[in-house]
Structure 1
Amino acid sequence: MHAVIDSERTSAGRLDAAETLSRDALAALQLERLRGVLRNAWTNVPWQRERLEAAGLHPEALLQLDQLSALPFTLKTDLRDHYPFGLFARPVEQLARVHASSGTTGKPTVVGYTARDLEHWAALMARSMRAVGVRPGDLVHNAYGYGLFTGGLGAHAGAERLGCPVVPISGGGTERQVALLVDFGARVLCSTPSYALAIAEVAETMGVDPRQAGKLKIGLFGAEPWSAAMRAEIEARLGLTAYDVYGLSEIMGPGVACECACRDGLHGWEDHFLFELIDPETGTPVPDGAAGELVITTLSKQALPMLRYRTRDITRLVTTPCACGRTHLRILRVAGRSDDMLIIRGVNVYPSQIEAVLLTLPALSPHYQLVVERDGKLDRLTVQVEAQPGVAAEGFEALARGAAHHIKSTVGVSTTVEVLTPGTLPRSQGKAVRVRDLRPKAG
C-alpha cells in the first residue's frame, strides 16, 4: 500500500496510481489506514480513547468502515473546549507547525502538523493543482493569506512540490498585485473567489485589462462558498478558467478535494480522508444523491487525528466514474454551511442562493452583504448590493425592486434590496463577510 502512496511523486503529466485505484482497493486502503488513525487516537488522545471505548471501537477489532458510525461526531466546539493542544496526538516539541483560526467568535481552533503531515499536505495540494492543469514551471501568484490561516502556506507548499515558482504575495496591496500579475506574467492565480473579483475590479480602475495585459490561464479558488454565477463573473473579468479547491484547517487545509479539468465536482482524496454525508438535523446518513452535511475522518494525520468531524458544509456526493479517469468520489459544489443558513419567515436561505440571483442582473455587481434584523417576532433580511460602475443613481430604486422580485420568485423569500454606489461595501482580502447578523443575542 505504501508504494501506492509514494507514487504521488510521479510526473505531473499523468495520473498517479493512487488516483485511479478501484473502489474496492480504495476501501481496503481506507480500512487499513482507519485502523492506524484509531490506534493513534486511542494511544495518544485520552478524550478520543474514552469515546472509542464507549462506542466499543477498539482499533484492532475494526473489520468494516461502516463500524465508525458508532462513534459520536467531533465538533468545532470540542477543539475549543480542549484549547490549545488537548486533542493533539503528539507533544508540541514533536510538531513541525501550528495553525489557528482567527478566534473572532471565541477561542481560536488550533491545529498542528508533524513533518510527515506537512509532506502529505504538500503532496495532496500538488495533486490538486495538477488536476486543474498546473504544470511544473508555471508561475503561481499566491494571494491567499499567509500566517495562521492555512490557505497561503498550503498552496505555497503544493506549488513548490509540483515544481512551480511561487510569488508569495498574500492578500492586500491590490494595486501592487495587479502590477505584478502583469509584470511577472503569472499563469496561475490562487486566492479566495471574492478577492479574485477585488483584483479584477482594481485592475479595471487602473485601466488594466487582465485578459489582455497578463498571462493568467488558471484560477484556483477556495476557502468560501461561491456560486456558478460567481465563477462565470471571475472568468469573464480575469480571462482565466476558474477551478474550485476545498479544505478546512481542522482536517488539513486546502487540498482535501479539488476539481479536475471536467469541472464535474471536486475529487475528494479518499486515500487520505473518509467522507460521509448526514442529515444536519438528525445526524443520520442521507439517501444516495441527496444533499447533506459533509463529515470527514482523517486517515493519515499524525498530530491531530480527526474522527467524524462535522464540517457544517452542505453538499452532495457522487461515486460514479469521472471522465478524467480518477476514481475518487466527487463532492459537488458546496451550497453553503448549515450554520450559515438563514431562516427568514420559515424559508431556508443560503447566501450563495442570493448571490446567484444577483449575478444574473447585469446592472448589479458581485459585491453584496446580507443584513439580518429582528422585526417584532420575525426576522427581516436586507440585501445590500452595489451597482455596476456607470449605472445612473436615479435607476437604483427600480433596480432594487427588480432584484427583490427576482429573489422572491427564485429563492422564495421576501427581502428589502438596497442598491448602493460602487465602492460602498468593504472589500475582503481573504474570506468575504457576507452576513451581518444584527439580531439580539440570546441570553
Structure 2
Amino acid sequence: MPMFQPEIETLPRDRLRALQDERLRAIVAYVYDRVPFYRESFDEAGIRPANIRSVDDLTRLPFTRKEHLRDHYPFGLLAVPRERLARVHASSGTTGKPTVVSYTKHDLDVFAEVNARSLAAAGGEPGMVLHNAYGYGLFTGGLGLHFGGERLGMVVVPVSGGVTERQVTLIRDFQPDMIASTPSYAQTLAGEFEKRGIDPEEISLRFAILGAEPWTDTIREHVERGLGLTAVNIYGLSEVIGPGVSQECTEERAGSHIWEDHFLAEVVDPETGEPLPDGTVGELVFTTLTKEAMPVIRYRTGDLTYLTHEPCSCGRTHVRMGPIRGRTDDMLVIRGLNLYPTQIEEILQGIPDVVPHYQLVVTRDGALDEVEVKVEVTEALFREVGQDVLSSEVLEADQRLRTLRESIQRKIRNTIGLRLNVTLMAPGTVPRSEGGKLRRVLDLRQL
C-alpha cells in the first residue's frame, strides 16, 4: 500500500527516537519560555528545561489535565500572540465552556500532513474521491480530514454530517472511492442503502476511515458488509491536534500507528501515573512535539488503551495503540460529541419543577446511539399533577408537563448540541447512592 511520507513512516526506531529526543528538548524549552502555566508547573516540580535531555526524562515532567485547559479558557495556554493564530477550534467541555484549541499556519500544515498520512494508510491515493461526512465547524473532524485529503491529492466532497438522503444520492452520483464518517453514521448509510434495495457491490466505496467514537469489530463487520468496503479506525482528539493522531493501516488492522515524529505517546497507570509496559492497558498520555500555538506536555487523555512496538507488516515503524477500551471518567461519546453527566446536572439545576436526581440511559437504535435523560419532578409539581405514575399518557395530556419536558430538551440541545430524550419521573424513582459510587449512566449498548 502506498504511503504519503515513506521516509518518515518507515524511519528506523533509533533514528525516530533521536528525532523525538531533539524535539522534546526543544518543546520543553519553548513552553517554559512562552507559557506561564508550564513555567510555573515546571518550577513547582523543580524542573528546568536543561534537565530534560531525552525521552527517558519525560516522566520527570508534570501532567497536563483537561481542567488546566478549562481553567485557562479561552487563550491562557497560548505560546504565541493571538494575532499569529490562523484558526481556532473547540470541543464540548464538562462545565458548559468548550475546550478551545488554536493553530498557527505551521500547525495547520502539520494537521493536514498527519491526516494525509492517515488517509494513505486507510487506502487513499491521489485522484481518489473522498466523501467527507464528518461535521464541519468548531468540531475538528470535518476540516481535519478535508485538508488531509487535499494534501494527499484526493478529490474531496465536503458533504458534512446528516441529511442521509442527500448523502446516498451524492454517493451514487459522484461515485466516491472512500468515505470518512463516524462508525455509527456509516452504519446508518449501510442501512439506508439496504432499505433502497441497493446491493453493496453496486456501491462505489472501497474504503472507510471511521472515528470520533468508540467502535468494535462487530460494527466494522456490519459497515463492511453493508457498504462493500474495507473499514479502518482513525484516532485523534482536539487537545492534541484533532483527527490524525494515529491511524489503523489496511494491512493488519491491529492497532493504530501513532505519528511519533509529532506526538509522543505514553500509557500510565490511571491511579498512580506510573508508566506501564507494552501490552498493559492504562491511560493514554500525549506530548506534542511540533505544535506552535498550543503545545501540551504529558496531556492525560482519559482514554484507556495499550501500546505495542511489535513490527507491522505494512512496514511502518511508528508505535501502535490498541482500541480504546473505555475512559477514566464518565464521559460518553454520542454521535461524535462529548457528553458528560455533569453537564446534564448543571442544566437541570437551573430549571424549576425538577430536582437534581437524574440518570442517563444509553441505548442503540439501529446504528445511532440514543440517550434518555430520566429526571425527577418536584414533590409540589407531582402533587399538582395528582398522579401516582407519570405515564406517557399523562405527559401528553398535561400541558405543563409537556412544556417542562420540551424546555429541558431544548436547553440540553442549545447547551450541548445533542437532542436527547427526556423522561419525567415521579419523586424517589431515580436511583440514589447507597454508599458507593452513584451510577449516573446506564449504558445498555451492545458494542
TM class, shorter-chain normalised?
0.7 to 0.9
Q: Secondary structure at the match of 2:236?
A: strand
Render the CA deviation track for 1:316-358: whole Å, top value 9, x for unaligned.
110111111111110011112222489xxxxxxxxxxxxxxx9
The amino acid that maps onto 1:247 is G
| Matched residue count | 358
C-alpha distance in 2 between matches for 1:176 and 1:127: 29
Match of 2:22 in 1: 32
Match of 1:216 in 2: 205
1:319 aligns with 2:309: yes
Q: Identify which of 138, 142, 152 aligns with 1:152.
A: 142
1:235 aligns with 2:224: yes
1:72 aligns with 2:62: yes
Match of 1:204 in 2: 194
C-alpha distance in 2 between matches for 1:55 and 1:435: 47
Match of 1:418 in 2: none
Match of 2:237 in 1: 248
Match of 2:358 in 1: none
Match of 2:275 in 1: 285
Match of 1:124 in 2: 114
The amino acid that maps onto 2:172 is V
C-alpha distance in 2 between matches for 1:299 and 1:314: 22
Match of 2:102 in 1: 112
C-alpha distance in 2 between matches for 1:64 and 1:212: 52
The amino acid that maps onto 1:304 is M
Q: Identify which of 173, 177, 180 aligns with 1:183.
A: 173
The amino acid that maps onto 1:81 is D
Q: Secondary structure at the match of 2:265?
A: strand
1:27/1:13 Cα in 2 relative to 1: closer, same or farther (>3 Å)? closer
C-alpha distance in 1 between matches for 2:257 and 2:88: 27
Match of 2:88 in 1: 98
Render the CA deviation track for 1:32-59: whole Å, top value 9, x for unaligned.
1011111221111101111112223322
Match of 1:46 in 2: 36
The amino acid that maps onto 2:72 is H
1:170/1:439 Cα in 2 relative to 1: closer, same or farther (>3 Å)? farther
Normalised TM-score (structure 2): 0.74
Render the CA deviation track for 1:76-119: whole Å, top value 9, x for unaligned.
11111110000111121100100011347421110000000010
Tell me how far 1:131 sits from its aligned partner.
1.1
C-alpha distance in 1 between matches for 2:179 and 2:417: 16
1:165/1:234 Cα in 2 relative to 1: closer, same or farther (>3 Å)? same
C-alpha distance in 2 between matches for 1:139 and 1:75: 38
Match of 1:81 in 2: 71
Match of 1:385 in 2: none
Match of 1:329 in 2: 319
Match of 1:225 in 2: 214
1:257 aligns with 2:246: yes
C-alpha distance in 2 between matches for 1:166 and 1:14: 17
Bigger Cα Rg: 2
Q: Secondary structure at the match of 1:74?
A: coil
Instruction: Give the CA RMSD over aligned residues.
Output: 2.9
The amino acid that maps onto 2:271 is E
The amino acid that maps onto 1:230 is I
C-alpha distance in 1 between matches for 2:68 and 2:110: 25
C-alpha distance in 1 between matches for 2:207 and 2:286: 28
Tell me how far 1:190 sits from its aligned partner.
0.2
1:432/1:138 Cα in 2 relative to 1: closer, same or farther (>3 Å)? farther
Tell me how far 1:281 sits from its aligned partner.
2.0
Unaligned runs of 5+ in 1: 1-10, 343-357, 375-429
The amino acid that maps onto 1:71 is L
Normalised TM-score (structure 1): 0.75
C-alpha distance in 2 between matches for 1:433 and 1:22: 48
Match of 1:135 in 2: 125
